[in-house]
Chains A and B, each alone.
Chain A
Amino acid sequence: MKVGLFIPCYIDQFYPQVGIATLQLLEKLGCEVGYPTGQTCCGQPMANSGFEHLTDGCNRLFVNNFADFDYIVAPSGSCVLHVKDHLHVTDKETAATHIREHIYELSEFLTDILKVERLSAKFPHKVGIHQSCHGQRGLHVSQMTELVGPAFSKPQQLLQMVDGLELVTLNRADECCGFGGTFCVFEEAVSVKMGKDRVADHIHNGAEYITGNDVSCLMHMEGILRRQKSNVKVLHIAEILNSEV
């Protein structure tokens, strides 16, 4: 199985440790991982701002870089959802379709494709899960509180395999953190208020770490936590699942 590693632009530039943990974790689990070095961004920052017509360059690059892999995996539900919903290249539609159908967010790839049942990881801390909206409501990596249906959570399923990790229960299980792409700057006041409220829920319920499957949300909440001089830290789920025993 050839897995193409997609490391979204802001993770590449600002959170390389998340890329490293994702790569090491996939390798540990026996995947043959390739990282195409010509990759940049999925195009979502433009598209969500109303400029999807400017994403052709990103789409072409994406198809050129990832067409030859059996699966494409990324440590971001949001970027994966964008590719799944919007990747089209007029003269390369077969390749684009293959990518749309075989791109996975890391946690769903581990539970659904690799069918991981145990992990050798240890993280003796209280952890709160931030359910990032695009992974949850877009990719359905976990059940949504609005819907009447059976409970499930792929990230939680994986975190429960980690030795010593204690999950905290939040008052609002799946409320948005307010990052929202360019929303975070164009609607600064509401964005920050949403982030403060999310962070407060984790702190109130005793979390030492906030984890999730989207670095963008975590970056936003980390920015607020650091401004508040809080001891609570954020970690991407890959960093916890890859933590050494």
Chain B
Amino acid sequence: MHTPDLKDHAVLAAQFNANEPRVNWHDETLWWVRQKRDRMAWSLPEWEALRDAASAIKHNVLGNLHEYLLEFERNAIANGAAVHWAANAAEHNRIVLQLLQQQGVKRIVKSKSMLTEECHLNPYLAENGIEVIDTDLGERIVQLAKEPPSHIVLPCIHKKKEEIGELFHEHLGTPAGNADPQFLTAAARTHLRTEFLQSRVAITGVNFAVAETGEMVVCTNEGNADMGAHLADMHIACMGIEKLVPQRKHLGVFLRLLARSATGQPITTYSSHFSKPKPGQQLHIVLVDNGRSRQLGRADFRNSLKCIRCGACMNTCPVYRRSGGHSYHNAIAGPIGAILAPNLDMKQYADLPFASTLCGSCSNVCPVKIDIHQQLYKWRQVITEEGQAPASKAAGMKLMAAVLSSPGRYRFAGKAARWLLRTMPGLINNRFNPWYKQRELPEPPATSFAAWYKKNR
């Protein structure tokens, strides 16, 4: 249905579904995370009030983003950090490269950052002769496999432990056939420790930035952001401009929601606050727009910028669990990715808002109460208005609307369809009908309800 050079969620999802036991495994693994999240939510009687508060705080941030950004910049500079502004991914990448070239480094460590994924920083730096070692375990695994992350919190959730064992055997020299998670983690730890010790520059993402204090909070379970940033001469923190919270006290709301929503933990192992560079160290903060101010200007979609990247919408999404993160062909997969991506490129991501049944579970788990499924519906309208719907679909919809707008045409079409199904079922029940591939059509009744009503009432 899409032009051949464009990736299509339905096609990629069908490929993922070719291996049903694997789909079951993927679905059950993520459902387990969703259940952990439910238990954590239920452990706080004030859960729904927390979601309301978080949503309201972010509403305020988005309404006053300009002032908060300037306040943050002022305070960060006063703390001794250097602040850089990047209008788009290319500018972000250039700024980072410049800083690295200034330091004369060829190999650096990076802790998990979805923003640098969004900007495709790793391949850009590789083209410029700089190797990036991702230090988040899951992220390192997909990096070794030369794949993008399939989930924003659990980047290698699509990989089984045996596959990880093989990767480690190939790249880190662990014994063949060893897939013991504890052993593999220890091997990765040894490997990464060497990288940490050698790296003169560390890049981290940012979970929250506090306007009032100019500090940044980075949440990890592995302490890899801290390890990198503390050992390096230069810490580069890359963040989207929507990551702000007004005051330090607001962190309490978000830190209580983030890990509970993401993985069903009360809090991440490390919630590290970075404000001042240590003596002799440089701290650089890159503030990135990359389409965010455009999204801010779209009244129907601005709420999507409240996202704190917990991934709860992915874990609960029945489509995501059964199609895998890579089927979304975007740095951010799942329902949230499907409402963020069309803002970046409406043509390339025209398929994503349709990769949903609009069941609404995503909006219900969202800790900042983004109306995700309603935005999916609205993106569908925008994509059609912008002429991105396939011509065959548009023609079909016009025909359907013409039939359903006229009681006479509707009655005739219904009668004809039922008659066809009764007398020549093969015309409808064939391999060209996607419904019939794995499902029966309903048995066609002789009369419609309307005809019955006319006769009986």
Contact = CB atoms under 8 A, between A and B. Distances in A.
Given A41-B404, A148-B45, A227-B440, A50 B354 contact: yes
A16 B361 contact: no
Interface in B362-403: 363-365, 377, 380-381, 383-385, 389, 393-394, 397-398, 400-402
Interface string A146-157: 111100000000
A23 B453 contact: yes
B449 A20 contact: yes
Contacts of B402: 57
Contacts of A37: 407, 450, 453-454
Interface of chain B, main secondary structure: helix
A67 B308 CA distance: 44
Contacts of B20: 193
Contacts of A133: 357-361
Interface residues of B, number: 76
A208 interface: no
Interface in A208-232: 219-220, 222-224, 226-227
B407 A46 contact: no
B386 to A, nearest CB: 10
A157 B38 CA distance: 24
Contact of A188 (B398, B404, B438): B438
Interface residues of A, number: 74
A144 B194 CA distance: 48
A185 B435 contact: yes
A146 B437 CA distance: 33
Interface of B: 1, 9-10, 13-14, 16-17, 20, 23, 27, 31, 38, 41-42, 44-45, 47-48, 316, 318-319, 322-323, 353-361, 363-365, 377, 380-381, 383-385, 389, 393-394, 397-398, 400-402, 404-407, 410, 414, 417-418, 434-435, 437-442, 444-445, 447-454, 457
24 contacts: A17-B445, A18-B449, A35-B450, A37-B407, A47-B377, A50-B381, A51-B381, A51-B389, A51-B394, A57-B402, A133-B357, A144-B364, A148-B48, A176-B357, A181-B357, A186-B10, A190-B322, A192-B437, A194-B318, A194-B357, A197-B27, A223-B441, A224-B438, A226-B439
Interface of A: 7, 9, 11-20, 23, 35, 37-41, 43, 45-58, 60-61, 133-134, 137-138, 144-149, 172, 175-176, 178-181, 183-195, 197, 219-220, 222-224, 226-227
